[in-house]
Each structure stands twice: as structure tokens, then as C-alpha cells.
A and B are shown apart, each in its own frame.
Chain A
């Protein structure tokens, strides 16, 4: 039952595969996929496709299919969130709010290609889990308390799916409402359960950026369950999330 922890994308990935037959090389291949995607989507190199698109030197049609897919999804999300989520801001292109979850799904596909059916992958606090169905126990996914990194606010049990949390505590309020240019402060963190991590991550980011109405907006999206935590431990959850809660 191989386990791997590696630094990638400015954060840490941990991969826990419970299938006996899956070799450790499968986990390394998944980690390598993340490194490759990190290089493709970096905004830290002037010659990256993202920077070239930003400067108008590369059209979407000319870009790598991965880049087209991600930027297309970002455009859809921008429309769905009425602009609260926007990969473009102040003339800068930064799709990283979508890329992390999307890349993690790619890495999970690599694990599946190697025969993994029972695994969890945590990329910087965004989690994908699979195979937590009988006779296996559900995966227990903790949600960090926004005010205390060493504590969990709640724990959900999940068989298959994704959990993403966006918090105003992370990366120094890097999430801003694209409409106001300011960090939202209605909620300290928003957690989304969804079948797909790219969606969960983007919706969590967008819902946090939307402010007070963010959780209710996210709850209306198909397949999304929501937990929002505010100041003074104010908690807002959907019924589906409550059903998944272990503590």
C-alpha cells in the first residue's frame, strides 16, 4: 500500500493508495504528471503559454489543448459566477484557481490507469478520494478550522469524490472578488464536496469571492454540497453535507 508525499505546485501532494497490487511507480508517475502540468501552467516564466497568451502573443487556437481546456472552463466559470471568478484580472492571466483541482484530477487518472481503485490524493488541501465503498470504509476527510491550522472544524465521510476548501486564511487573502478587487470577508472558509475536484476547487474559490451569498449560490449547482465557516464559528451547511458528516 504505497504512500507518497512530494512538493509540487508550490505546495505538497500526498497520495495514499490502498490497492495491494499498485506499484509505487504509479504514485511517482502521478506526481510527475503534476510537475509537468505545473510547468505548463506556470505564470512565473515569461515564455510560458499562459504569459504569452496574456501578452497577446499566442491565440487560444494555437495553445496546447490542456491550456485551451482550462481557459475554456475558466470562461464558463466566469459567466456562472457573474464575474466573481475570473482568470483575468488587471490585465493578468492567472488560471491557478482552476488549475490545481484540474491537475489533481489528471494525477488521479494516472493512478487509475495503473489500476488503482482505492486511493486518496491531497494536493495542497484539495482532496480526491476513490473506492471508499463497502467493504472498504469511507474516506474520512477533515476540514481545517479556518482560525486554527491544527484543528479540524468537521470531518466528512466520502466514498468517491472530491473536497476542496478555499479560505481567506490561505496565502494571505489572495482571493479577491474580481468585481471589487478586494478580499471578501463574509466567510472565513468555504468547503465544497463535488464529484470532480476541478469543479469543487473552482466553486469554492468563486463562492468565497462572492461573499455572503456564495454558499447558497454554490449549493444550487448540481452535485455540490457546501460547508461555510464564518467568524465566531458561524457554520452554514447543506443537508447533503450534514448527511456526510462524521463529526
Chain B
């Protein structure tokens, strides 16, 4: 059972290898003192996970930032306060292998969600090209207000969302 690859990502960042992957946690914009994933010994060798970085960017779903109106109780259509940048979610595992979700925030809105570090085999390519764009659309259709943490948001059966949650946690608190 593997622990978080956050460690291996940090290791990559230190070694400078695979700079495409070093998105670490924040790659663009904003201040630099942001929560950086950190798990003690960042000097540990880059475990197996460095493999393919092929950032399978999801197709042309650019922003469709309709804020979920008609909502309930307090969830006014208030706009997001996510910090601009590219945010990496936690690693999650699926039968076809581990992956991360990467969220791009621009102007405080989620403008893109993509899967990175997926294995390059044919099966996962299919997953990335079909399933992820669909998920992406539903993510961007609604925007959440600013928060440090979110209660009740966990989806063990939906690892995509789990990774996305971690990425959004970071973007929200960096704002």
C-alpha cells in the first residue's frame, strides 16, 4: 500500500526532474508562501510514480462559469474566492492506476480540470478522454464560496472528486 505520492512530487521538485510535473502545488500567479505539500523527508527518492506525466488535458471545455443558481439556504450565487493558479489534487488510485486531478483557477473561477500523471496505456487514455471531460463540465458548472475546509465533502467511491477536493481546498485557502 503506497502512501501519498506527494512525497515523490516534492522529490521531483527538488531534483528538478520532470519539470512538467512539478506543478507541485502552485505553478502560476499569486504569492509564493502557499501551503506546499510537505511530508517530512522530501529527499526520499522519487518512487515509481514519476512515470508518465502526459498531462491529459481535458478537451475544449473552457470555462462555463454559471454559478449554480436556484440554490438553497445560504448558498447564494456568491462568486468563488479561489486563488488563481494551477492546483494539484491528492493522488488517488483507480484500478487502472494512480492519478491526480489538476485544477486551473483564473479570475477566481475554475476554468479547467484535468487529469495528470495517468498511466499511458490505452485503457486509461480512454478514461481520460471520455470520462474526465464529462466530470469536468459538471465541476465547472457550479462554483463554491470561499472556505478553508469543506465538511461533508468526501467521495470514497469517486476518486476523481477526492483529488479535486484536495486541489480546491488549497485554492480556496490561498485566496
Contact = CB atoms under 8 A, between A and B. Distances in A.
B128 interface: no
A74 B103 CA distance: 40
B4 A229 contact: no
Contacts of B138: 150
Instruction: Classify the interface of chain B: helix, strand, loop or mixed.
Output: loop
Contacts of B153: 125, 142, 144, 149
Instruction: Classify the interface of chain A: helix, strand, loop or mixed.
Output: strand
A140 to B, nearest CB: 5
A7 interface: yes
Interface residues of A, number: 57
Contact of B141 (A11, A141, A150): A150
Contact of B144 (A14, A25, A129, A151): A151
A7 B165 CA distance: 12
Q: For chain B, which range describes its interface: under 10, 10 to 19, 20 to 34, or 35 or more residues?
A: 35 or more
B160 to A, nearest CB: 10
Contacts of A127: 149-151
Contacts of A141: 147-151
A159 B169 CA distance: 18
Contact of A122 (B4, B149, B161): B149
A143 B39 contact: no
Nearest to B170: A3
A40 to B, nearest CB: 15
A10 B92 CA distance: 10
B142 interface: yes
| Most chain A Cβ neighbours within 10 Å, of B37, B90, B91, B148 | B148
A97 to B, nearest CB: 14
A4 B146 contact: no
Contacts of B143: 150-151
A173 B36 CA distance: 35
19 contacts: A1-B35, A3-B170, A7-B92, A16-B35, A25-B40, A31-B39, A125-B150, A127-B149, A143-B152, A144-B152, A149-B161, A150-B139, A151-B143, A152-B150, A155-B146, A163-B149, A170-B155, A172-B157, A247-B78
